[in-house]
A = this chain, B = another copy of it.
Amino acid sequence: MRPENNPAGRNPRSFIETARRAQIIASAIEVIAEHGFAGASLARIAKHAGISKGVISYHFTGKDELMKEVVSQVYADTVRYILASMEGQETATALLRTQIIAGARHMREHRAQIKALGEIFSNLRLPDGRPRYGVAASEELFQSLENIYRLGQQSGEFRPFDVRVMAVSHSAAVDNMFAYWSAHPEHDLEAHARELADLFEHAVGAKTRS
């Protein structure tokens, strides 16, 4: 008998259940980061974790739930870290710079997680074949970036421009900073982040610092 899902009712997870789920999620992240989404079979994930394949089916309803769990966990971690870094920043210029630099710092410490997140985002599909997380899934991120840009425009720090295009480009540049660093590990990620912050400060027409 497998532990039923827990929709609001009783049924707390046992100690073993909690530990196994965490272990399996961690193993999935590592395997996806190393072999890509298509190379991450349940068999490989189980072998990497040193357990039998059936254990995954026992603790998760299917591969789909496992992938969704990886996404929500890594995504929540990332958002939490970046938002915490931005706390206390006042000007839009400072928020912009912090968003980029904190993102880079987080990438540096969680390379496999971010890699896995990207793989799942661009490869996981619904049963009917449509992407589960498409560009549409970034809507929330776009809106929070737009808030920063709109703030800067209202305060007069930034020139007028289309905030949606700026947000999409910002998000793209940060994602690709990660991809580039991922392919060139000797690349200086922090320097790239600082340069990217400069790039966007100029792009928005902010008063150049110093």
Contact = CB atoms under 8 A, between A and B. Distances in A.
Contacts of A134: 183
Give the one of A122, A200, A203, A205 with max B CB within 10 A: A203
A49 interface: no
Contacts of A183: 134-136
A38 interface: yes
Interface string A145-172: 0000000000000010110011011011
A202 interface: yes
Contact of A159 (B38, B202, B205): B202
A195 B161 contact: yes
A175 interface: yes
Interface string A122-144: 11010001010011100000000
Contacts of A180: 135, 168
Copies, count: 2
B169 A176 contact: yes
Give the one of A129, A161, A175, A176 with max B CB within 10 A: A176
Contact of A200 (B129, B176, B184, B203): B203
Contacts of A199: 161, 165-166, 169, 203
Interface in A172-210: 172-173, 175-177, 179-180, 182-184, 191-192, 195-196, 198-200, 202-205
A161 B198 CA distance: 9
Given A129-B36, A134-B183, A203-B200, A192 B173 contact: no
Task: Rank and list the top 6 A-B pairs by shortest CB-CB distance, nearest first.
Answer: A172-B176, A135-B183, A169-B173, A203-B203, A165-B195, A172-B172
Interface of A: 35-36, 38-39, 122-123, 125, 129, 131, 134-136, 159, 161-162, 165-166, 168-169, 171-173, 175-177, 179-180, 182-184, 191-192, 195-196, 198-200, 202-205
